[in-house]
Each structure stands twice: as C-alpha cells, then as structure tokens.
Chain A
Amino acid sequence: MLKATNAILSARDASLVIGGRTILDRVNIDVRPNEIVTVIGPNGAGKSTLVRCMLGLQPLSSGEIVRAKSLRIGYVPQRFPLIPNVPLDVRRLLSLTLKPSEDEIDAALAETGIPHLKNATVTRLSGGELQRALLARALLRKPDLLVLDEPVQAVDFMGEARMYELISEVRKRHRCGILMVSHDLHMVMAESDHVICLNGHVCCEGGPVKVQQDPEFAKLFGPSAARMIAAYTHHHDHDHEGHNHHHDHKH
C-alpha cells in the first residue's frame, strides 16, 4: 500500500503494553486533511486507548505518533461525567481552556443547534445536548482535525442520526479532518473515507466497501453484522457507491 505523506496525524507501529498485557500491537494509522477516518472494533479492542495515544495523553511502549506542526485538534472525549461535581454552565464549559468572546460562543452554539442553552447548567443537559456542547467547544479551537470518541454515546436513536448529520455538516463547513471512534456500523459505512477495524492490532482497513467484504470484518462482528451492513449499503447504493468507490482507489 502506498504511504501518503500528507497525513496530519499518524500512528507508526504504535504499541502499548500495560502490565504484560498488549493493548495496542503495531498499529498504523494516517489521518489526512478533510478526511473521515473511523476506528471500529469490539469492546476492549483498544479504540479509545489508540485515540488517547494519538492525542499524546498516553505514552506508547514503542512506535511513534507523528503530528503535523501547529495542528489544531478539537477533542470530544468518550466518557464525560454526566453529573460533574463542578458547578458549570455551558458558557463556562466552553471557556475552560480558551477565552472565547461572547460572539464566538454564540456562533459555536448556534452551529451545533443549541443556541438557547448558553446559560444552562451542564448537569441539566441531556446526552445529546451535552455532546453538542462538547462539539461546540471543540469547534471554538478552529480545529484542523476533530477527534470524536463515540460521538453518539448516550444519545437516543433519533438524536443519533441528527448528530451524525451535524458532524457531516461541520466537516464540510470547517474543512477539517475527522478521526472518529464509533460502534455504529451503519454510519461508518455511509460516511467514512477510511475504516480501520481494530482488535489490539489492525484486523483490516480500507474504504468501507472493501472493509465489509473482508473476512476479518465478519470474524470481528459476526457474519450477521456483515450481511446487515451489506444490505444497508446496497440499499443506499445510489447515495454512496460513487463516493466510496473513489476513495477505494485513492488508498
């Protein structure tokens, strides 16, 4: 496979061993500008850990993380304490490590669809509202890359589709890359440019169409999942086939 050189964030043979247990085994990932890279895998596959390593939050045992100079990252973490001890309103949540102006805060909240929640207490937000607030927070950093760890966690089914729509819009408007961890196979197949199946090591990767036909994918998620996705993608052929096809060639 041709290694592209224009990646903004890469893992090179990233390995992590903790207490004799191998969490990550020589993982390679490239995220290129304006590209959606999705990491899927079963529970305990090391998805979140990989993200934490790529953000520099967790040192590797071996290998390296290569990050483009002056890369601005907007991060939406997976676990956010739903009942934080710290009394905060949304405005303050958005200004924890930045000092955005009121206008910037208003604009970010409007973009993620919650302009009315600026003064709301964080503990009173629903799962979806909190995710939107965290996304607004990430956007305030004017990111080149959004890192989203399970962005629809704690979001109800209807909210899930809208959340993915929002992420898609945001990417187009801000022209940023996205590195996402997702358990939602439908979304992965519909929107991603590059899919990585992780189970400690990279089981298989490529464009969504290629990945779902990979025997490793079936092994990881079971044949029924593979069939289900196939049916789903087939159903949406008219929407996505051309798009996916294009990227299959690129890699």
Chain B
Amino acid sequence: MAEILSEPFFQRALLAGLGIALVAGPVGCFIVWRRMAYFGETLAHSGLFGVGLGLLLGFSLTLGAVATAVAVAILLMLMKRQRVLATDTLLGILSHSSLALGLITVGLVTGAAGDHMDLLFGDILTVSSRDVMIVWAGGAAVLLVLAFLWRDLIAISVHEDLAQAEGVNVQRVELGFILLIALMTAISMKIVGLLLITALLVIPAAAARRLSATPERMAVIAAAMAGVAVMAGLALSAFANAISGPAIVLSAGLLFVLTLVIPQRN
C-alpha cells in the first residue's frame, strides 16, 4: 500500500489536492461567515460554460472558467439592484441556467456531456505536472490577495453596515473576494469538479467553526480539515476506485460529523 506513494501520478495528485486544501480552508471560512454558499456554487456552475467556450474556441479552460465566473458575479451584482426577485431566486436562475448552458456547450464539442465527467466531479488521479503548477501558482495568488483583504473582509463579515460606516470600501473588498472565488473555482475544478467545489469550501470551514475561538484559528483548522479530507478522498479514489470529487467531499462530510462529537467551545 505504501508503494503507491512512490508513484508519480499519486504524488502529483497529493500535491495538487493539498494545494487546494490549503486555499479552500481560509476561502471557505469567508463563504461560511458571509453566508455565500449558494453564491459560490453559482460561480462554480457558471465556470462550466467557460470551459465549454474554451473547448469550442480553443483557449485555456482555466481562463474560460475564471472569465465566466466573474461575468456571472458581475451580472448578479447588477441584478441584485432590482428588488423584484429575492437573491436566492436569482442565484437559482443563474446557477442552473449557466450549468445547463455549460453542459450543452461542452456537449457540442465532445458529443456527449458524459465525456466530461471529470469537469463536473474531478479526476485527481490524472492531474498533470502542469495542473499541479496551476494549482500552486493560483493558490498562492489567492492566499496573497486574501491576506491583503483579510482585516476588511472580517470587518464586513461581522457587520457590513458597521464596516462601511467606519470607512471600509465594501464594494472593492467584495469585488476582490468574488475574484478570489472565481480563481479558486478554476484551479480546483480538475480536483473536486465544478459541482462539488462549494462543498470543499463550506464543509471544512463549518467543521472548524466549533473548534475555533478566533477567525485566524478557524482558517488554519479549516485548511487542515480540508487537507485530511483530500488525503482520505485520494485514498478512496486510489484504492476503492471512487470518483475523486465525491470521495473528497464525502470524507469532509464524515470529518464534520466527527467534530460534532467534540463539545463546542465557542
């Protein structure tokens, strides 16, 4: 069983997965703090359309996913200004129409959407060295921007009006955070898949919440939880032939259940 650790494909998978986990922890905390789970999901779903466009027109799939996620985020911010439909309804509309559009676009290229299961559910065991590089470079960029926005983002998460009244530029910080989610979506789609990215963001953070007294500690614990989930999922994927995305998310879910046993501190 230990032999597999020396296999290059497994090493790449481990490296890519842990890179994602490191970023998913802190970013996921803000998704939980800001109650943006559904928002993140919408961005991730819309990424598939970008991937389809990339396949169709022959440009980078990562770039395509980031671009459509950002476009949808901006569209959503504009649509929120009208007050006829509730935000969750808007998200429902955007999330699922963009997913449908993405499936059709990808289908146009491949003949059947089923051929791109890995986009939807991840395929961590087939990541290339280039994929690993994209994960770590993209992940480093996300963490850097996150560190820069950290204080303001926390102030906004605690109370948006209060932060704005005290001089935080809410719109700028929010836009920055949306870009982070878009980038996060793009780098993790090969690992967990577009359908399940939000789960990898939300579940470890939710599990860390009970064990944390400060925002920073919660971010670190969430990253560690995501790391454990990635390793467990990878093992499931390698030894039980499970699809990698669901395997990782299921492991995260089990971890969450385990933390419920620990008495809450805060």
| Contacts from A to B (Cβ < 8 Å) | 18-19, 52, 55-57, 73, 75, 77, 80-81, 84-89, 92-93, 96-98, 121, 123-124, 141, 147
Residue of B nearest to A81 (CB): B159
Q: Is the CB of A85 within 8 A of B159?
A: no
B162 engages A87 (CB within 8 Å): no
Contact of A87 among B35, B84, B218 (CB under 8 A): B218
From B82, B154, B165, B167, contact of A86 by CB (8 A): B154
Name the A residues within 8 Å of B157 (CB-CB): 85-86
30 pairs, CB–CB < 8 Å, chain A vs chain B: A19-B82, A19-B84, A55-B161, A56-B164, A56-B165, A57-B165, A73-B165, A75-B162, A77-B159, A77-B162, A80-B159, A85-B33, A86-B154, A86-B215, A87-B213, A87-B214, A87-B218, A88-B214, A92-B215, A96-B154, A96-B162, A96-B163, A97-B151, A97-B155, A97-B163, A97-B167, A97-B168, A98-B166, A121-B213, A141-B166
At the interface, is chain B mostly helix, strand, loop or mixed?
Answer: helix
Q: How far is the CA of A93 from the CA of B162 in the complex (A)?
A: 11
Contacts A77-B161, A92-B214, A96-B155 given: A85-B209 contact, CB under 8 Å? yes
Q: Mark B69-99, 1 if CB is under 8 A from A, else 0.
A: 0000000000000111000000000000000
Main secondary structure of the interface of A (DSSP, over half): loop
B120-178, CB < 8 A from A: 151, 154-155, 157-159, 161-168
Do residues B158 and A84 form an inter-chain contact, with CB atoms below 8 A? yes
A57 and B218 in contact (CB under 8 A), knowing A19-B83, A89-B213, A97-B155?
no
Q: How far is the CB of A244 from chain B (nearest CB, A)?
A: 31
Nearest-CB distance from A141 to chain B (Å)? 7
With CB as the reference atom, state the residue of chain B lying closest to A73: B165
Please measure, in the bound complex, the distance between the C-alpha atom of A80 and the C-alpha atom of B159, giving whole angstroms: 7
- Contacts of A98 on B, CB cut-off 8 Å? 166
Docked pose: A143 CA to B163 CA in angstroms: 16
**Is B212 close to A, CB under 8 A?**
yes
Q: Contacts A85-B33, A87-B266, A123-B266 known; A75 to B166 CB distance under 8 Å? A: yes
Question: Please, which residues of chain A bring their CB within 8 A of the CB of B151?
Answer: 96-97
B179 in the interface, Cβ–Cβ < 8 Å? Answer: no
Complex Cα–Cα for A52 and B162 (A): 10
Question: Could you tell me the distance between the alpha carbons of A81 and B159 in the complex, rounded to whole angstroms?
Answer: 8
CA distance A93 to B161 in the complex (A): 14
Which chain B residues in 182-198 approach chain A with CB under 8 Å?
none
Bound: A97/B154 CA distance, A: 9
Q: How many Å from the CB of A150 to the closest CB on chain B?
A: 14
Interface check B63, CB cutoff 8 A: no
Q: Which of B154, B165, B166, B217 has the most CB of A within 10 A?
A: B165
Residues of A with C-beta under 8 A to B213:
87, 89, 121
B32 within 8 A of A: yes
Least CB distance from B26 to A in Å reads: 13
- Output the nearest chain B residue to A99 by Cβ-Cβ distance: B151
Which residues of the other chain, B, contact A81 by a CB distance below 8 angstroms? 158-159
What is the CA–CA distance of A77 and B165 in the complex, to the nearest angstrom? 10
**A residues in contact with B82, CB < 8 Å:** 19
Q: A85-B35, A89-B214, A96-B163 are in contact. List 18 more A-B contacts (CB 8 A).
A: A57-B165, A75-B166, A77-B162, A84-B158, A85-B32, A85-B209, A87-B213, A87-B215, A88-B215, A92-B214, A96-B162, A96-B166, A97-B151, A97-B155, A97-B163, A121-B213, A121-B266, A124-B266
